[in-house]
Structure formats: structure tokens, C-alpha cells
Structure 1
Amino acid sequence: MRNLDGTDTRLLLALARDPRRTVVALAQELGLSRNTVQARLARLERKHVFLPFGRRINPAAVGYPLAAFVHLHVQQQKLAPITEALALIPEVVEAYGITGQADILAKVVSEGAEDLFRITGKILAIDGVERTDTSLAMHELIPYRMEQLLHGAAGTGPSPAARPRYPGACPG
């Protein structure tokens, strides 16, 4: 794995399994000193290995049960101000610059169909957004995960052929 040794990878795997672990608990599990774990965590943080900390909150639990992916077709020269305007819409919870027919993929959460209509209207009102295509998320099939990548980097996980299949996955 890029610039990570086996100890770093084991530390990341332990955190991926339980992000709330204390430094002392990590040190005990990995057979390292507390100072070693603390120093490695600080170095990994300086290298931007960790994404911003926070618990993933279920949008449905706070009144936003409908998730959708909005493909935005935009004027490229206005990409920066469009991104800034998208960031001001609270229901836009993620956005990515993408290749393909669309330019931006935004994940949006809403209270329901009417609310989604309102939100896409706000997106379409942004100067430089030419059109949108919206797809409803019916069910999360594979949640965010890193364990398999880390196991592969550490040489401790299953081979790609032995990885679990997900319902509806294409044979490969």
C-alpha cells in the first residue's frame, strides 16, 4: 500500500472495524506501545489518510428518507461557482466531478418526491447548470467500506476471486 507499512495497515484495519477505539485499546490489540500508536496516528493524520471525523447519520432518521443522485450538466467555465452554490444547499450531502455525459454527480436527500422537486429546482436555478437527470436510490447495496482494500494491502484478506458476491452483482 502506498507509503504504509504492515503496522500502519493493521492499525487502519483495527480503526475500520471500530473507529471509536481508544489509543490504549489499539495498542493492546496490536501489541504496540501507546506512544507508538499515538505517533503513528499523528503521522497518518498529517498524511491525510483519515477523512474528516464524524459519525455517519442516517438521513431517514432525521426526516430525509428519500435519497437521489442528480447528474448535473454544466458550463465547465462556471464549475467553481456552481460547486460553491451546491455547497449552500443543505440537502446536497455529497458531490463529485465526474467523467461521462454529466459533469457533476450530487447525492441529495429529501423528505419525499415534492421536496426532491423543490431541491432539483434550486439546483437548476444555479447559473451555469444547463440540465439535470435524477435517479432515485432504492436501496444501499454496498455501504462505504475500506476493510477489503486494507486486507488486500496487508496480504491478509481473501483474493479478489474469493470476495463475497453481492445480490445483483455481475459475474466476473
Structure 2
Amino acid sequence: MTTLDPLDARILLALDDEPDAPAVVLARTLGISRNTVHARLQRLAREGALEPFSRRVPPAALGFELVAFVSLQLDQAAGDAALEGLAAIPEIVEMHATTGDGDVLVRVVARDTQDLYRLANAMLAVDGVVRAATSVSLAQVMPYRTRRAAGTRHRPAHHPARRPARRSGPGRACHLSVRQAQPQALCSPP
């Protein structure tokens, strides 16, 4: 993955504001040339800084109303083969190697609990999968986000002698500015 410079970050934040904006609109918003925006977006896509369009499609729109997280314990001798077998299951939409009791945490989508039961059995049938522990998501209380994290990228880490960063709360609104030379969180006073 590429390291973003301040202009890359400004382009990505502007694209987050208007995901369907053409390069000419982004260029006008940011005060830079259309060719610069176009070249940067192509490079960012090529280097993996932009997710595919399918990340914008919620599973529920495709009929998958249930989301679950499954911690899988793998036979260490069959690790790579087990991962390949799991990747072949279409309803597994994400996998992470983890520390702790499980070796892999997978996010699965299912149509209902019966479908989840079928998926659990399919995962356990993969050679090298030893044990599974499933947690069903009752509700997504905070959607996936990176925008606020982008505003912390250029801030120094908290230091006890320094005053902690201001947080949003009642009467305060925080947002990221795309017009700044470097993206930063901006908070209105309480």
C-alpha cells in the first residue's frame, strides 16, 4: 500500500464527500488541475489505496440480512491450505489473521440463521479448520469509517505533559477539511 502525501489525502477526502464526482469537479473543489486528480486517482487505485466499488454495496442490499463474526482455530500444519479453502466460500467477505485463541477472524454474511448454520458447517468442513466460535451481529452501532482516523494521521501522539486533543461532544461538531494543505480535524467551539 502506498503512503499518502497531503495532496493524496485531500483528494481522497474530497472523493469521500462526493463519491461519484468526476475528476473535473474534484479538481475545481481542490483548486488543482484535472490531470493531476486523474493521475493521482489512477495511481491510488493501482496501489490499493482505493477499495473496489463493491465495498459500497451493503450485504443487506443483496439479501444477506445477517452478519456474523467467526473466530476459527486452524491446524497449524494446514494453515495456507485452510485459508484457501475458506476463501472459496463466497459468503466469507473478510478474513483477518489474529492473536489469541483463534487464528483467523472471518466476517460472514447470511440470509438467515439457517443459512448461517450451513455456513458454519461449510467452514468446519474445510481441511485444517479445527474449531469455530460464532458471534452474530445484532446491529451495526457504528459503520466502517476512516475519515476521522485520517484527521489523526499528522497529529503527534498524546503526551502526558500536553493537553489532550479536543473531542466532539454536545454542542460541538468536528469534521475534516479537504481544502487544507494537510487534512486535519476541525472542531467548532462548544
Which residue type is aligned with residue 40 of structure 2?
R
Deviations 1:108-129 (A, max 9, x none): 1112112111110111111111
Runs of 4+ aligned residues of structure 1 deviating over 4 Å after TM superposition are: none
Alignment of 1:118-133 (within 5 A): 118-133=118-133
The SS at the match of 1:44 is helix
TM superposition shift of 1:91? 1.3
Tell me the TM-score normalised to structure 2 length. Answer: 0.75
Whole-angstrom distance in 1 between the partners of 2:78 and 2:168: 42
Structure 2 match to 1:36: 36
Whole-angstrom distance in 1 between the partners of 2:88 and 2:27: 41
Could you say if the C-alpha distance between residues 62 and 99 of structure 1 is closer, same or farther in structure 2, counting changes exceeding 3 Å? same
Structure 2 match to 1:169: none
The SS at the match of 1:36 is helix
Structure 1 match to 2:87: 87
Structure 1 match to 2:135: 135
Whole-angstrom distance in 2 between the partners of 1:135 and 1:5: 38
TM superposition shift of 1:152? 2.6
Whole-angstrom distance in 1 between the partners of 2:44 and 2:35: 14
Alignment of 1:58-97 (within 5 A): 58-97=58-97
Whole-angstrom distance in 1 between the partners of 2:13 and 2:41: 13
Deviations 1:34-65 (A, max 9, x none): 11212222333343322233352222232221
Query: How many residue pairs align between the two structures?
Result: 161
Q: Share of identical aligned residues, percent?
A: 42
TM superposition shift of 1:87? 1.6
Structure 1 regions of 5+ residues with no counterpart? Answer: 166-172
Segment drifting more, 25-34 vs 112-121: 112-121
Of Structure 1 and Structure 2, which has the larger fraction of its residues in helix?
Answer: 1
Segment drifting more, 133-142 vs 45-54: 45-54
Tell me the TM-score normalised to structure 1 length. Answer: 0.83
The SS at the match of 1:153 is coil
Whole-angstrom distance in 2 between the partners of 1:144 and 1:83: 24
The SS at the match of 1:89 is coil
Let me know the Cα RMSD of the aligned residues. 2.2
TM superposition shift of 1:160? 5.0
